[in-house]
Chain A
């Protein structure tokens, strides 16, 4: 089939990132154009800790993820109560700010030339396991009171509040969680490619993940995974140059939005991965 290990690794990393975006965009309906910057936070924090301070990898990985979570909290706190366009703007601004900071702290981060010499500690089993766990977490989240309330908020925030749902609190929670997912994806990324530079984590990468969620159907996790796999591996197999790949994504999104706004699966999940049946009806959910 010709799919190399690296394609598999990158796809799994995408899946982890996309799980986070699924939470924030698919479930809660927020548009964050800054997810990639949380990835940068994760990659750089863990990378710098290992390269410059000799911290052991597991500790650095946890630190990187936590840094992302913290960043998510800081950015999310003022942002989640804003209207949708503004959330996009603020997260975009945050992304730009992070890139600017990373470029400027060249003593620590290597600036625009990037951080080199990150040991290659990300293995395929680790990435696969991480991807599976991410999906496990997000799946459980979706089919819980948290997921339902998020969907309620996305569909009709006013009505949701009238039902006693704490809109801002949930949105912040989801924001923080997805920042964590992105940061962890960044950790894995950095320790696989052994090199990161700020330009890798720009808003188009954030937009790519959003596109994957859209393609699969906003409310569908399996859809998001399928599109991450499809859109991640297809161009690799077919050896597209990166600009054409993005062009392809864009055309796909435009077609979907115009002709099949529900995406591949809409709100449905495929009952392949896990079946959850309601006890008395016995029907798969």
Chain B
């Protein structure tokens, strides 16, 4: 593996990490795998595209508006797909099905609105490749890496230094006590979804840039899932680590002759399977044994 590949892998992984963290946050507080996040990714990717092309805004402003859009969308999703389930204390299966359905719904809305054509984001930068001592990095990759780092840092700041962050962490550890302590659980959940939506918005734009736009873009949520699993489901730093590893792994696999991008999903599937069998708690996680 060359350093160049490592670099590519890391920048790919940084995008995955934003997805994974958004995924892990919801898992933490509501204990289910939120596949609707894929829908958020798709919608925000297209939204960003519209904003960038119609209004010719540069990357930062596009990101700003897209993340807002993502936040709003996520809050709406919570309202429609999960609020009532929480009220009814429905079994976890229902949350899961609801999230998948929501994801499919959004994917199809986009398909109807945009048909299956492929779209490309406009070029945001004049120079497309950065060079440094023989290493290349796409400018967009560079910015993705940088912005991901900043966003993750901000997120950590929110989680560990603000009242909201404490509330979110409390909720993820013990919902009943949090409620008993007088916290407005609804508001915490909504706030978390908003944050998750922002993350989704940012990731959506990056995915759109990297992969060109197509309605099934949201299926990349699976990467977030895999990353979370590798890192330890629900564990935020684990999700980041898992995502980086996944990104590097993908780059390496794609580079190998016999595998390429065609069979890479197969190898990843096998690796995930092995991981789940041998270390289901992921790198960082602990198995939480259900108290009977």
Contact = CB atoms under 8 A, between A and B. Distances in A.
Nearest to B260: A104
B263 A89 contact: no
Contact of A250 (B102, B219, B262, B265): B102
B93 A86 contact: no
Interface stretch (B13-21, B57-65, B221-229, B244-252): B221-229
Interface size class of A (residues with CB under 8 A): 35 or more
Contact of B100 (A86, A103, A207, A251): A207
Interface residues of B, number: 44
A104 B108 contact: no
B162 interface: no
Interface in B102-125: 102, 104-105, 108-109, 111-112
B112 A257 contact: no
A89 B84 contact: no
B280 interface: yes
B92 A257 contact: no
- Please classify the interface of chain B as helix (H, G, I), strand (E, B), loop, or mixed, using the class held by over half of its residues: helix
A249 B108 CA distance: 11
Given A103-B262, A104-B263, A158-B290, A86 B105 contact: no
B266 A86 contact: no
Contact of A78 (B90, B93, B276): B276
Contact of A100 (B222, B265, B273, B277): B265
Contacts of B80: 254
A204 interface: yes
Most buried by A among B84, B90, B97, B222: B97
B84 A258 contact: yes
Interface string A204-237: 1001001100100000000000000000000000
Given A85-B32, A86-B276, A247-B108, A254 B269 contact: no
Given A78-B276, A82-B280, A104-B263, A254 B222 contact: no
B85 interface: yes
A19 B1 CA distance: 48
Nearest to B104: A250
A78 B269 contact: no
Interface stretch (A90-98, A119-127, A172-180): A90-98
A86 B96 contact: no
A93 B93 CA distance: 19
A78 B86 CA distance: 32
Nearest to B80: A254
- Please classify the interface of chain A as helix (H, G, I), strand (E, B), loop, or mixed, using the class held by over half of its residues: helix
Interface string A91-123: 011101101110110000000000000000000
Contacts of B84: 258-259
Given A88-B96, A93-B272, A207 B104 contact: yes
B262 A90 contact: no
Contact of B96 (A84, A211, A261): A84
B112 A244 contact: yes
B292 interface: yes
A139 B15 CA distance: 48
B192 interface: no
Interface string B209-250: 000000000010010011001000100000000000000000
Given A86-B276, A158-B292, A247-B105, 18 more contacts: A31-B93, A84-B96, A88-B33, A89-B226, A93-B269, A93-B273, A97-B270, A100-B263, A100-B264, A100-B265, A100-B266, A210-B97, A250-B105, A251-B105, A254-B101, A257-B90, A258-B84, A261-B90
Interface of A: 29, 31, 33, 78-79, 82-86, 88-90, 92-94, 96-97, 99-101, 103-104, 158, 203-204, 207, 210-211, 214, 243-244, 246-247, 249-251, 253-254, 257-259, 261
Interface of B: 32-33, 80-81, 84-85, 88, 90, 92-94, 96-98, 100-102, 104-105, 108-109, 111-112, 219, 222, 225-226, 229, 233, 262-266, 268-270, 272-273, 276-277, 280, 290, 292
